[in-house]
């Protein structure tokens, strides 16, 4: 099944900070100019490595499919599209914090000023793809910035060819 990982995107996020710090370090160390940076390739490789990080962290076998970036960042942000097996879906449903999952489902299915939900909580729980997105929202939210930087930051710095 295909699903989207709402990892926070690249615009004004911890991921953007990691990338910018890496690019600055590489520019200083290797005499690289800003014009030499292949930003699209960098974001793509970073996304693939982020999926690797999730696979390692949660003992999954997600398959990276694509990075979807909005044309403009005023309404949405980047998401990573992955393929998740039935076994991994079951594993994620077993390890996700059920109370936090209920909070996420409630949040996306409750009307508020400026927001009208497209579906009910019952519809989310009955639709594996929507439920999977919510479960990953919970898992990704549990990853601390320190954990991400410690376990993932070095990967982007030394294992991505972006110039």
Q: Rounded to an integer, what is the distance from CA 119 to the centroid of its chain?
A: 23
Q: How far is CA 14 from CA 18, 57, 105, 123, in A?
A: 6, 18, 24, 32
Instruction: Over range 135-163, report the average pLDDT.
Output: 74
pLDDT of residue 94: 96
Tell me how far apart the alpha carbons of residues 118 and 4 are, in angstroms, rounded to a whole number.
17
The whole-chain average pLDDT of the chain stands at: 89
Whether residue 159 has pLDDT greater than 80: no
Residue position matching structure tokens 């729980």? 125
* The pLDDT value given to residue 155: 60
Q: Give, for 21, the enclosing helix (H) or strand (E).
A: helix 14-30
What are the tens digits of pLDDT across the range 28-84? 888 888 888 888 888 998 899 899 889 999 999 999 999 999 988 888 899 999 999
């Amino acid at each position: 099944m295909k699903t989207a990982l709402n990892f926070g995107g690249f615009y004004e996020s911890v991921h953007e900070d990691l990338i910018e710090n890496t690019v600055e370090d590489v520019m200083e160390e290797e005499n690289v100019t800003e014009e030499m940076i292949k930003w699209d390739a960098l974001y793509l490789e970073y996304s693939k490595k982020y999926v690797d990080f999730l696979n390692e962290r949660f003992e999954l076998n997600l398959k990276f499919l694509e990075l979807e970036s909005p044309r403009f960042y005023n309404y949405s942000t980047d998401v990573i599209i992955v393929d998740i097996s039935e076994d991994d879906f079951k594993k994620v449903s077993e390890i996700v914090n059920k109370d936090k999952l209920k909070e996420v489902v409630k949040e996306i299915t409750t009307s508020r000023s400026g927001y009208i939900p497209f579906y009910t909580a019952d519809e989310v729980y009955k639709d594996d793809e929507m439920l999977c997105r919510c479960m990953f929202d919970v898992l990704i939210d549990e990853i601390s910035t320190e954990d991400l930087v410690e376990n993932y930051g070095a990967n982007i710095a030394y294992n991505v060819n972006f110039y």
